[in-house]
Chain A
Amino acid sequence: MTAIAAAPAIIGTARAQARTITFGGSIPLSGRAAETGLNVHAGYLAAVKAVNDKGGIEVGGQKYMLDLKMFDDASDPTRATTLIQQQIDQGVDFFLGSFGSNIVLPTAAITERARKPMVQAGGGSDQIFTQGYRYVFGFFPRASQQFISSVEYFKTIEPRPRTFSVIFTNDAFSRTQADGAIKDMEAAGFQLMDRYQLPETITDVSSVLNSLRAKTPDMVICTTHDQNSLLISRQMAATDTHVKLLYQTLGPQLQSYREALGRFANSIMVQIYWDERANYKDAVFGSAKGFADTYRSINPRPLAYHTAAGAACIVVYLQAMQKARSVAPAAVREALATTDVETLYGRVKFTKDGDGDPILLGPRIGQVQKGAVEIVFPTEAASAKTVYPAPKWSERS
């Protein structure tokens, strides 16, 4: 813990005339990934506004205001790469990430080639962090390592579940995360019953549910994106396809998901990367709660953990600039590589490959209880006890 930098106030009071630090990038404000893209973007906006409202920051004796130039990539990797290349050509030095590994991966290749840092909270696919990139940093641990804390959690459940099946879609993130989950679960002694690979866009999972009813595991793990997760759980509830534990890495964290399922959302498990009740100190917002309060005062959009991660991307950038006492991309990159700092999002530290430290930045485990997501693991951060086995669909209240 001694390596953690104290969280000094980074809001500057320099008297020199302010210059501007521009953060560029693309983000899905429309298209399939827009729901979470908007959440990440809202975090970027909140951080920039908070810093500028307090007079900017001071780096190496010079005062800077922040500027955000994020463009809508419409969830389209081709469009995103064009936008990023344009910004490189226009001289943007610092990039924030899009959302979705399929977009972050090709855009990271461009910023890497231009030697411009990218800090992102939208891509967790292993391929982003195994190309030898030096300028790309991600908040999430790579997908194949995102299941470590989940497996630890499953081991604590009593009576201990023994079998599991995995549902995933044919995209880089979902498939890689499923592969990582299966590897870690089997290593921990859980028995894989089936793995179901679905197309990227799904309209029906009745065949999967038929199989699940015929051959029911203790746990069903879905490494699917939000909309697909909702379809799966909705069809499970409608066809009374019951398992003791339904775990979806994405979906239940969204209010819209929980509203759509109503009482049937209760007992569904989800990965949670951030909780506003955590006691984190932050240089810009003061604390996690300070961020949540500031955010809600400026944006009516429900707060999601991706929003906090987006804001923390900028906080980490600013801390790195102050540490480097420079706004030169290469110097900031070096400072980012050795980042170990507490932020509104928690303690941020990157691996040598640039992804989030799997222990510090790995997910907590949440469960929907009475319509809200409660943390059930790790125990020291838990806000509620796990409900296991989950009640049958018809018995949920």
Chain B
Amino acid sequence: MTLVLQTLLDGLVLGGVFSLAAAGFSLIFGVMNVVNLTHGIFVLIGAYLAWSAQHFLGVDPLLAIPGVMAVLFAAGYAYQRTIIQSAVDRSSLLASLLVTFGVALVLRNLLVLAFGPDFKSITPSYAFTNLKLGALTLDIVRISALAASLGLIALLAFVLYRTDWGRVIRATAQQDFAAGLCGVNVRHVYGLTFGVASAFAGAAGAVIGIVLPFAPPDEGHWTMKAFAVVVLGGVGSPAGALLGGLLLGLINTFTAQFIGPAFPNAMMFLVLVLMLLVRPHGLLGSAFGGSR
């Protein structure tokens, strides 16, 4: 029983990180129908910024999150208004797939130039402490990561459902033409959405950085995880990302514990295939799909 509880706990912690890492990806996919293959690199940029904050300024990586989010918000907004929008205008949404893939390659190599190819690791002061609850062992870093993830996802939900920005983002996602007729500057909203999504990707990077060593080639891994979370949970809503992420975390740990540590990826893709066959919109469906 203890083992089941420990595995459940480990799965929830891992899932929380996956949820946060996927929230931005889900938002962009839900609002703009753009599969953003740059997502993983934004996650890593967040991790590198948090590493820099700790390494050069001595700032705790979790406290650096607001700064990381601000930088990536600006970068995401500019990226959408220039490169992504241009690709969509000139060709199709498919072009954005290719463009984001290309930009990810370029950014990955720029990261190598800026930080070197060596893996980095963020070690906060509480990195090696743990909490014992009876027979259960809780790694403080991972618990902090889970708390930060849940807090940030709640913040994203607040932004989307309780602010004017969120209202126009949701309106644009549901009917961009109608939103435009109502006076919404749709292009600006797309930029805002990309900015918000990038900011949350960066925050996820800061959280991931305290949990795992990271290096530029890891970007593909985080894009893939985000894709899996979106397929599982559904597109566009923080709740979908949260549910998908937690589910993915639980699939990972329970498979590793009770089937074998070699099989989490195999099980993840098996569940993805089943989900696409049975419920292609994911568990919570598309947050904006009903009005389209």
Q: How far is the CB of A86 from chain B (nearest CB, A)?
A: 20
Assembly CA distance A203 to B139 (angstroms): 15
Of the stretches A87-95, A232-240, A330-338, A372-380, the one at the interface is A232-240
Interface residues on B, range: 35 or more
Of the stretches B67-75, B167-175, B214-222, B284-292, the one at the interface is B214-222
The answer to the question of B123 belonging to the interface, with a C-beta cut-off of 8 Å to chain A, is yes
From A39, which residue of chain B is reached at the shortest CB distance? Answer: B118
Q: How far is the CB of B132 from chain A (nearest CB, A)?
A: 8
Contact A234 B121 (CB under 8 A): yes
The answer to the question of B95 belonging to the interface, with a C-beta cut-off of 8 Å to chain A, is no
Partner of B119, one of A203, A206, A213, A226: A226
Contact A238 B128 (CB under 8 A): yes
From B109, which residue of chain A is reached at the shortest CB distance? Answer: A30
Contact A197 B260 (CB under 8 A): yes
Q: How far is the CB of B206 from chain A (nearest CB, A)?
A: 16
Contact A196 B257 (CB under 8 A): no
Known: A199-B262, A239-B137, A256-B119. A206 touches B128 (CB 8 A): no
Assembly CA distance A30 to B216 (angstroms): 8
Known: A35-B118, A204-B253. A213 touches B137 (CB 8 A): yes
Interface residues of B in 173-202 (CB under 8 A from A): none
**Max chain B CB contacts within 10 Å: which of A29, A170, A210, A264?**
A210
B80 surroundings in chain A (CB, below 8 A)? none
Contact A210 B7 (CB under 8 A): yes
A197 surroundings in chain B (CB, below 8 A)? 260-262
Contact A199 B130 (CB under 8 A): no
The answer to the question of B129 belonging to the interface, with a C-beta cut-off of 8 Å to chain A, is yes
Assembly CA distance A227 to B120 (angstroms): 9
The answer to the question of B46 belonging to the interface, with a C-beta cut-off of 8 Å to chain A, is no
From A255, which residue of chain B is reached at the shortest CB distance? Answer: B118
Number of interface residues of A (CB under 8 A): 42
The answer to the question of B151 belonging to the interface, with a C-beta cut-off of 8 Å to chain A, is no
Interface residues of B in 232-266 (CB under 8 A from A): 252-253, 256-257, 260-262, 264-265
From B222, which residue of chain A is reached at the shortest CB distance? Answer: A203
Contact A256 B117 (CB under 8 A): no
Contact A204 B14 (CB under 8 A): yes
From B253, which residue of chain A is reached at the shortest CB distance? Answer: A207
Contact A238 B257 (CB under 8 A): no
The answer to the question of A201 belonging to the interface, with a C-beta cut-off of 8 Å to chain B, is yes
Interface residues of A in 30-71 (CB under 8 A from B): 30-32, 34-35, 37-38
Q: How far is the CB of A223 from chain B (nearest CB, A)?
A: 14
The answer to the question of B212 belonging to the interface, with a C-beta cut-off of 8 Å to chain A, is yes
B118 surroundings in chain A (CB, below 8 A)? 34-35, 38, 256
Known: A210-B7, A227-B213. A34 touches B130 (CB 8 A): no
The answer to the question of A16 belonging to the interface, with a C-beta cut-off of 8 Å to chain B, is no
A201 surroundings in chain B (CB, below 8 A)? 218, 221
A208 surroundings in chain B (CB, below 8 A)? 256, 261
A234 surroundings in chain B (CB, below 8 A)? 121, 127-128, 213
Q: How far is the CB of B3 from chain A (nearest CB, A)?
A: 6
Interface residues of B in 72-126 (CB under 8 A from A): 108-109, 112, 116-121, 123
The answer to the question of B6 belonging to the interface, with a C-beta cut-off of 8 Å to chain A, is yes
29 CB contacts below 8 A, A to B, read A30-B216, A32-B215, A35-B117, A37-B117, A197-B262, A199-B261, A204-B14, A205-B261, A206-B10, A206-B14, A206-B139, A206-B253, A207-B7, A207-B10, A208-B256, A208-B261, A210-B6, A214-B3, A230-B119, A231-B213, A238-B139, A240-B130, A256-B119, A256-B120, A256-B121, A260-B121, A260-B123, A260-B213, A262-B123
Q: What is A's interface to B at a CB cutoff of 8 Å?
A: 28-32, 34-35, 37-38, 75, 170, 196-199, 201, 203-208, 210-211, 213-214, 226-227, 230-231, 234-235, 237-240, 256, 260-262, 264, 393
